[in-house]
Amino acid sequence: MITRKQWTTVSEFLIETVIRICGISAIIFVLGIFFFVFREGAGFLFSKWEPIKFFFSTEWYPTSVSNKRYGILAIIAGTASVTVIAMTIAVPFGLGAAIFISEFCTGKLKEILKILIEFLAAIPSVVWGFIGLMVMNPLIIDIFNVPIGLTALNGGIILSLMAIPIIVSIGEDSLKAVPDSYREAAIALGITKWQMVYRVLMPAAKNGLLAAVLLGVGRAVGETMAVLLATGHAVQIPGSPLDSVRTLTATIAAELGEAPVGSDHYQVLFVIGIFLFTITFVINLTAYLIVKGIRVQKGES
Amino acid sequence: MSDEPNYSIETKDLSLFYGDFQALNKVSVNINHGKITGLIGPSGCGKTTLLRCFNRVNERFGNVTTTGEIKILSKNIYDDDVSLIQLRKSVGMVFQRPNPLPISVYENVVFGLRIHSRRKDLKKTQLDEAVEKALREVYLWDDLKDQLHVKGTTLQLEQQQKLCIARLLPLKPEVILMDEPCSALDTEATRAVEELMHGLTGKYTIVIVTHNMAQARRVSDECIFMLLGELVEHTRTEDMFLNPSHQKTADYIEGRYG
């Protein structure tokens, strides 16, 4: 008998369909999220939205009785300041750790470090926020002798800890992808370990390392709960890292529950959501294109 | 023998283990200065391992134990006070697959100078001169003088391999080790690289591992035949091919095994 049993054909077909649906679902979800966020904000976006005021005014008074104003410049500054502080810490530490794990350590230590860093990535953001609130806050008050420790610095440090695992794991992947023949060539020429890092590995892996940094930035921009707890939630353009700030994400999280559904305030929060979505989308797309660029190059050589 | 000036490399009772596996067994050999010495033998006989001992790149992966001694320019390279950096500066290596770095031709050639000198000691004119001299020595100058800023990894394989030889020259190495340098090249390119090797004799001591009997015969002045980690025979190339003194050598050369 060489004919197939009927149920084999049917089950094959069913399994294939299920797998196909699973695969396509990711696309549906992303489009769905974008659609619903956009729909909620669309009413305001197309009738009352004034882009210049929205982006360049620092006046955020969504619940004022007489004169509601929706300027998010100060909040953008909040997100930017926290992100910049986070990246100032996370980039050197993250890339340093990636280089150390990939090039300088072997065996058990390497495994342990990789597991620990993955563990760092698995800590829920509310726990990070809690650490900012209960640990960093008194520390910053003590060290800098300021009245309040819930500041851009606090949020930045917490965010850097959250971004580091991403930078490390993607950075390490891109260093691993550097052909070993480059290392061998350089070693045979008498290179020192440090020269190897900055003369061979960094140039050869620069796209991957850049992508790692960008994804870290994406993480920092998009993170909500930790910064909500750690930054002090004050709408102002920070003059120093020791000022309290409020981020775009925290604004949405804190105010959405209190804004009447369908009100201007509610819709503006969704416009902020669209703005955030666009930023993270662009960052991730850029990172993806950079990584893809690496693959294409490798294909050629 | 260390006062004998015309040996570039002398080994005495050199044994090497990868973990428990013994890859070299008491190899004692003297390699003449300024000559091309071929290392031949079947796969797994230890010839590449021996070659990679001479600049100690074997040790990269750990798990390697070496006993005995290797003297290069009369200095035992397993002494504690040996600088691997300096050793590898004077013992260059060419690999099986051309492996130029993903930087420009120019930067590939001066790479060695850059890593071995302080930045302020390197003058542009000096680097330019070094590049021209090295590329002329490997017969690449005329082809590449207008393409010095092309990435080394985008050249043809033959040019890449010549570039890999050229980048050793500015460091004025005593020894150049070649690990099957032509196995990734076609016959034309192989001929070109062999010609280049002849051009380099006298100035540098070249040790070449090859699987290609005909190549060993064409390029080398002396030949070393190895089998199962041991040195079987070391004589002038003509003698080895015309009149081998060991039966195993004769059998291998005539292709009865290997």
The answer, for B57 touching chain A at a CB cutoff of 8 Å, is yes
Confidence of residue A299 (pLDDT cuts 50, 70, 90): low
Instruction: Please determine, for residue A301, whether its predicted confidence score (pLDDT) is greater than 90.
Output: no
- Per-residue pLDDT tens for A47-65? 888 889 999 999 999 888 8
Contact between residue A162 and residue A125 where contact means Cβ atoms under 8 Å apart:
yes
Q: Chain A residues with CB inside 8 Å of B100's CB?
A: 185
Given an 8 Å threshold on Cβ–Cβ distance, is B103 in contact with A189?
no
Q: Which CATH class is domain B7-253?
A: alpha beta
Give pTM, 2 decimals.
0.83
pLDDT of res. A1: 63
By C-alpha distance, the chain B residue nearest A183 is: B101
**ipTM for the complex shown:** 0.87
- Per-residue pLDDT tens for A163-200? 999 999 999 999 999 999 999 999 999 999 999 999 99
pLDDT of res. B1: 43
The answer, for B99 touching chain A at a CB cutoff of 8 Å, is yes
pLDDT of res. A298: 56
Cα–Cα distance, A69 to A50 (Å, whole number): 11
Contact between residue B115 and residue B202 where contact means Cβ atoms under 8 Å apart:
no
Domains in chain B: boundaries: 7-253
Instruction: Please determine, for residue A300, whether its predicted confidence score (pLDDT) is greater than 90.
Output: no
- Per-residue pLDDT tens for B135-188? 998 889 999 889 899 999 999 999 999 999 999 999 999 999 999 999 888 888
Instruction: Please determine, for residue A46, whether its predicted confidence score (pLDDT) is greater than 80.
Output: yes
Tell me which fold the domain A73-300 belongs to. MetI-like fold (1.10.3720)
Residue with tokens 């067994």: B25
Cα–Cα distance, B207 to B174 (Å, whole number): 11
- The alpha-carbon gap from A204 to the nearest alpha carbon of chain B, in Å, equals 7
Cα–Cα distance, B216 to B213 (Å, whole number): 5
For the four alpha carbons of A71, A73, A74 and A80, in that order, the dihedral sign comes to: positive
- The alpha-carbon gap from A282 to the nearest alpha carbon of chain B, in Å, equals 29
Segment A66-90 mean pLDDT: 94
Given an 8 Å threshold on Cβ–Cβ distance, is A301 in contact with B154?
yes
The answer, for B104 touching chain A at a CB cutoff of 8 Å, is no
Q: Chain B residues with CB inside 8 Å of A189's CB?
A: 88-89, 92, 111-112, 115, 167-168, 171
Given an 8 Å threshold on Cβ–Cβ distance, is A181 in contact with B86?
no
- Per-residue pLDDT tens for A107-122? 899 999 999 999 998 9
pLDDT of res. B2: 43
Strands B75-76 and B21-32 turn out to be unpaired
Domains in chain A: boundaries: 6-61, 73-300
- Per-residue pLDDT tens for B104-127? 999 999 999 999 988 888 889 999
